[in-house]
Amino acid sequence: MYRDDISNAILNQTGQVAYLVWGQEIETVGNMTQLHKVEFEQWQKDDLIYVAETLEDAANHYGIDATKLQETIAAYNESIKDEVDEDFNKGGKLRPISEGKFYIQKVVPSTHHTMGGLKINEHAEVIDTNGNVIKGLFAAGEVTGGIHGTNRLGGNAITDIIVFGRIAGTNVSK
């Protein structure tokens, strides 16, 4: 699934929220609560993440139908026995969600990169609506448009930030 598909599916849900759920066996391997200890503690304070002893407790905390959550997790665990995730096409090492503690995190779509903005030329100079250079105004990165089209691959924005940032910086210093 692509991020647009996931975002649209979440936005079509009641409350426009989804939940990430993982068990202790995934936490043991990923160690996310320790690698991101400060963030994890803040998310707990903000009630964006909850640690539960059972899936039922995890569901009840956020007002989710516990039976549906348990059925969904059971179906997922069954589907990955052959190391294939046909529902979400996840790759990599697929791990079951079967051992407590259970971690449940509230998630919503968010903007992580804008795809439109100021028009620039090859010198990173900003172009006005008449196609003229705005003298002394330079731009790079997310404030510019036309580099990636309507979407981008993760990490691709780094190149235009570095390239056009350097071009803009060089031209500003002249």
Largest CA distance in the chain: 66
Q: Which residue has the higher pLDDT, 5 or 19?
A: 19
Q: Do 139 and 93 touch, CB atoms closer than 8 A? A: no
CATH number at residue 92: 3.90.700.10
129 and 103, same domain (yes or no): no
Q: How would residue 27 be classed by pLDDT, with cut points 50, 70 and 90?
A: confident
How many independent structural domains does the chain possess? 2
Answer for the pair 97, 76: CB distance below 8 angstroms, yes or no. Answer: yes
Q: How many CA atoms lie within 13 A of 86 on its CB side?
A: 5
Residue 114 lies in a domain: no
d(C-alpha 152, C-alpha 158), whole Å: 11
User: Which of 87, 107, 127 finishes a domain?
Assistant: 107
Whether residue 123 is found in the same domain as residue 157: yes
Distances, alpha carbon 158 to alpha carbons 53, 91, 93, in Å: 41, 24, 28
Residues classed as catalytic: 3
Reported confidence tier of residue 73, pLDDT bands at 50, 70, 90: very high
Domain-terminating residue out of 107, 131, 146: 107
Least confident span in 8-22, 119-133, 143-157? 143-157
Average pLDDT, the chain: 88
- 100 and 38 both lie in a single domain: yes
* Within a domain: 21: yes
16-20: average pLDDT: 93
DSSP E strand boundaries for the chain:
18-23, 49-52, 102-107, 119-120, 125-127, 133-138
pLDDT tens digits for range 74-129:
998 998 888 777 777 777 788 889 888 999 999 988 876 677 789 999 999 999 99
User: 8 lies in a domain?
Assistant: yes
Measured in whole angstroms, how far is the alpha carbon of residue 106 from the centre of its chain? 12
User: Are residues 7 and 92 both part of a single domain?
Assistant: yes
Q: What percent of the chain has pLDDT over 70?
A: 94
User: Are 123 and 102 within one domain?
Assistant: no
What pLDDT is recorded for position 3?
A: 74
Query: What confidence score (pLDDT) does residue 155 get?
Result: 74
Q: Print the domain residue range for 77.
A: 3-107
Residue 30 in this model has a pLDDT that exceeds 70: yes
Q: What is the pLDDT of residues 126-147, one digit of tens each?
A: 999 999 999 999 999 878 877 6
For residue 24 the two structure tokens come to 């202790």
Specify whether 14 is located in the same domain as 37: yes
- Do the domain assignments include residue 93? yes
- The residue-averaged pLDDT of 20-42 equals 90
**pTM score, two decimals?**
0.68
Residue 56 falls within a domain, yes or no? Answer: yes
Task: Tell me: do 103 and 126 sit in the same domain.
Answer: no
pLDDT band at 149 (very low <50, low <70, confident <90, very high): low
Residues 19 and 102 in one domain: yes
Picking from 107, 137, 162, the residue at the C-terminal end of a domain is 107
